[in-house]
A = this chain, B = another copy of it.
């Protein structure tokens, strides 16, 4: 079973390392990391470098597709070659999944129109602009063969859910014990419904520092333009 994890410069590492660490323990799992060409790809932090092992062209028909989020997602959601690959690969994949703002790339590829999906809480408005029925209060949202989940750490839960569907509940439980995934967060501030107003404001400000760069703001605006023009063109004139 081939599992294709999409990388791009500016990815958030935990988004895909969580599900990678789960899915790699499935029987016959063959994980590969994709980009336009194999080579080093730098994370949003600027200090972590992970290798893309294969190109999109080398990976025409994976069984599972996983798209992580990052601080540059809107920029890459306008990468036509990436979007074309996502569309084509999705047409033959068993499961297509995203973590965090990765769902914006699935939406930009046209996979989520009119469907229920989720994302990192900060990315939900952008996702909604694609005509997606955004779900803010479910950690994992299943729409047919597409599974999206909440931000960053939610990828572990998504990975285990997928492992249960692909390898059965027994195997998923075995993997959960192997990863000793018995979470005990020392605070209870991990969801917008649980965090204080002060925490929410500070978290928005913290992330905006990385997200509100000139290039990302421009990419976001262009993405909305693309979407609006596409919608206008698709109306009967």
Contact = CB atoms under 8 A, between A and B. Distances in A.
Interface of A: 12-14, 17-18, 20-21, 24-25, 30-33, 40, 45, 47-51, 53, 100, 120-121, 139-140, 150-154, 156-157, 160-161, 164, 169-170, 172-187, 189-192, 194-196, 198-200, 202-203, 206-207
Contact of A189 (B25, B150, B176): B176
B173 A181 contact: no
A33 B199 CA distance: 30
26 contacts: A21-B152, A24-B45, A31-B47, A33-B47, A49-B50, A49-B51, A50-B50, A50-B51, A100-B180, A120-B180, A139-B184, A140-B184, A153-B179, A153-B183, A164-B186, A172-B186, A173-B199, A175-B206, A177-B190, A177-B191, A177-B195, A177-B200, A178-B203, A180-B191, A183-B183, A183-B190
B202 A174 contact: yes
Contact of A31 (B12, B45, B120, B200): B45
Nearest to A171: B202
Number of copies of chain A assembled together: 2
Given A121-B180, A140-B186, A175-B206, 12 more contacts: A21-B152, A49-B50, A50-B50, A50-B51, A152-B180, A153-B182, A161-B186, A164-B187, A173-B195, A177-B200, A178-B203, A180-B190
Contacts of A45: 20, 24, 31
Contacts of A13: 17, 20-21
Residue among A13, A49, A170, A176 with most chain B CB within 10 A: A176
Given A13-B20, A31-B45, A189 B177 contact: yes
A13 B186 CA distance: 22
